[in-house]
Each structure stands twice: as C-alpha cells, then as structure tokens.
Chain A
Amino acid sequence: MSTRDVTDATFEAEVLKNEKTIMVDFWAEWCGPCRAVSPILDAIASEHPDKLEIVKLNVDHNPETAMKYQITSIPAMKVFRGGEVVKTVIGAKPKPALEADLAEFLA
C-alpha cells in the first residue's frame, strides 16, 4: 500500500482536522534520503493500518505548508494529533530506528 499525498489545499481538512493520529512525510523528488525512507514509511503504515495514517507532502509543490512548519531539512516526518505537531523525526533512518521513534503511536 502506498501512502497518499496531501497538498497546501487539502492540508487543513486532511491533516489538521483529522480525528486520528496522522503523520506527514515532507519530501521532494531530488532528495535521495527521502526516496530511501519512502518504502519504509509505506511498510510501517501498512503494518499499522489502525494506528497511524501516513501521508506525503511534496515541499516543492506545497511551499506554503513547508514554510508554515519551518521545514529546513528533509525528509521531515511530523506526527499530528488534533491539529498539533506532537512529534518530529528528521532524516532517513532504518526501519527499527523509525519504529522506535514512533513507538508511542504504533502501540
């Protein structure tokens, strides 16, 4: 299962107003580490379908949201709950390391 995209236009409805815990992966085409971590995020999302939804936001196409969240390094993964950022993970990491970072949302 591949994670779906959110945009500047859909961010509020899909992420901020989402009743569930949702993680946004800020990424770009030209970012090698983003491409490396992408399949790992897909795997984590599909292994925990009820716990954590993961969506992607392309920072080149959606500069407004990227700027709002002061993204200066990608991949940046931000977990949102009730419209607030409750966790930020920066940089591509191996699956076990990411799972450890996100443990509280996957349990």
Chain B
Amino acid sequence: MRHVIIIGSGPAGYTAAIYAARANLAPLVIASSVEFGGELMKTTEVENFPGFPEGIMGPDLMTRMQQQAERFGAEIVYDDVVSLELDGPVKAVTLGNGDRHKAHAVIYATGSAYRKLGLPDEERLSGYGVSWCATCDGAFFRQKTVAVIGGGDSAMEEATFLTRFVDKVYLIHRSESFRASAAMLDRATADPKIEFIMNARVEQIFGADLVSGIGIVDTVTGEQRTLDVSGVFVAIGADPRTHLVHGVLELTEQGTIAVEGRSSRTSLPGVFAAGDVVDPTYKQAITAAGSGTVAALDAQHYLETVHDASRTAAAAV
C-alpha cells in the first residue's frame, strides 16, 4: 500500500511528486505510456517559466522535473490508468498492463486533451494534413501553405514555429479579440509569412488522400471562400481530461474537477486534483506547477490526519 499515487506527469504531476517525495511519501507517478511529460513535450522554447532567463525547450524542462522528482524518491511508471476506485479510505488504480496499485490518497493531474473542430473530414484526414502538433509535423510542409486555427498562445506559437518551414500561414480565428499574450501575438503579427483572417469559421476540410484546402465562412458577412492549404493545424484549446472520473468526482460547469476554495480537495476525501484539469482560466506551466504543490501539501496534511486517526483508534482498542 502506497501513501499517495499521482496520476499525470505534466508540471502539476511532477511538481506534486517533488513535494510528496521530499515529504517522504514515496509517491508513485502514473506518467502515461505515450503522453508522459504532458503538453510541454510538444512545445519548443518555453520563455516564461521563471528561472530560465534564456528560455528552455519544453521537453528538457519536463525531463528536469522528472529527474528532480526521481532524485527524492518518486517512482515513475510509464503506463495509462484504465480504471479507478476512489471512494472509501483505500484508493485503487488499475493500469493498462493490468497492475493494480493501492494508496491512501490520489492526486489527479491528467491535464487536458486537444479540442477538435468537429468537422466531418477531420478524423479521416488526421495525420494526412490535419495536425495538432506543429513541432511534430511542421517539417513535412516545407514551401507549402498551411492554416492554423485558433486565437490563443498555442495558435500563435504554432503559426510562428511553422514559418521556419512553410511559405505561408493563414491564421484563422473566429473573433477579433485574442486570448494570446501580447508577446506571442506581436511576434505572429509582425511575421510577414503569417496572414491573419479574423471573424472566420472553418466549415470544411477538403482532400481525397491528403488535405488540399479548407472552406471558411466570415462570421460577420456570411461570405464563404476556399483556401488552398496542404496543412491544417488545430489549436482551438483543450478540454479537461476527466473521463475516468465522470460520475465519481464533482465537476464544475466548465467541465473541470471541482475543488474546495483555493485547495486541491475534490468532492471525495483523499482525492486531490491539480493542474489544467482544475483550471478553466490560466492553464500555464507555472500555475499548474503551483497547483501541484498545493495538491501535495493537501495530500500530506490528509495523510497525517488519517494516520493520527488510525493511531487514536488503535490506542482506544
């Protein structure tokens, strides 16, 4: 039996692991088999994580967090959770390989999953021109024209990154206001290879075997037009990854896991949540890391309470 199991290995999961390990809780981290390290594994330069004045590559930052957690005794398993038993004082976590781990507390930090456009040909052309990862696929679009869909930081980053390879990027955004930070937006706006198309919605993706174009509609005038592009990079945000706890943990209206006030306490005792899965607003590496700290400290406090209670009960017998 473990003290605590941490599910997730982004900034929230690993920071929780660092704190829990340093509190001698020997946490087990379920890191995922193919998405370990979380979203930052798909980014390039991270320029806003404090302590790295020259910036740091996303995958390098995550490797460092992992090493820091391991240094203090966190154990990391590269597998996926398939089911959870969270009610009751003993929690159980079952993995893809069939292993079942038990613990007194669970920290849930599964982050979020990329949102899809929801268009008929999107799934069919996924990997054939439709992509969610410019850093993975951008190099295949040398001297091509591509579209990036979205208006947040990740859309700006994808667009700017893609200009290394492509001749032209259309940045398509459904409104006139941007969620992106000023620094990222300014960089994209100043780039001669990027053309902004605002108030536009993507209605269709064309292509037999590979993407050949998209159909967009102006949300103000209703005007429709077709853009010839070989790539469509979707960066329209992400949804909290809560499918394993639907009907188990209370969720908010935004679909994140509900926590009590500024704490990480979920609707079940001994279950704590951290990172993007509880955050509909900020979604930064550093806020996720801070949230992971909160969860580790809350879990530590909970474990002390449970431990004291069982000692009192034992003394009373």
Contact = CB atoms under 8 A, between A and B. Distances in A.
Contacts of A34: 136
Interface residues on B, range: 20 to 34
A73 B210 contact: no
B140 interface: yes
Given A72-B129, A73-B131, A36 B36 contact: yes
Contacts of A70: 128, 209-210
B42 interface: yes
A32 B41 contact: yes
Interface in A10-68: 28, 30-34, 36-37, 40, 59-60, 66
Contact of A32 (B37, B126, B141): B37
Interface in B222-249: 230-231
A45 to B, nearest CB: 16
21 contacts: A30-B135, A33-B34, A36-B34, A36-B35, A36-B36, A40-B34, A72-B127, A72-B140, A72-B210, A72-B231, A73-B127, A73-B136, A73-B137, A74-B136, A74-B137, A90-B126, A90-B127, A90-B128, A91-B127, A94-B96, A95-B96
Contacts, number: 71
A92 B126 CA distance: 13
A88 B140 CA distance: 17
B140 A71 contact: yes
Interface of B: 32-37, 41-42, 59, 79-80, 96-97, 126-129, 131, 133, 135-137, 139-141, 209-210, 230-231
Contacts of B137: 72-74
B80 A32 contact: no
A82 interface: no
Contacts of B230: 72
A94 B79 CA distance: 8
A34 B135 CA distance: 12
B128 A73 contact: yes
A102 interface: no
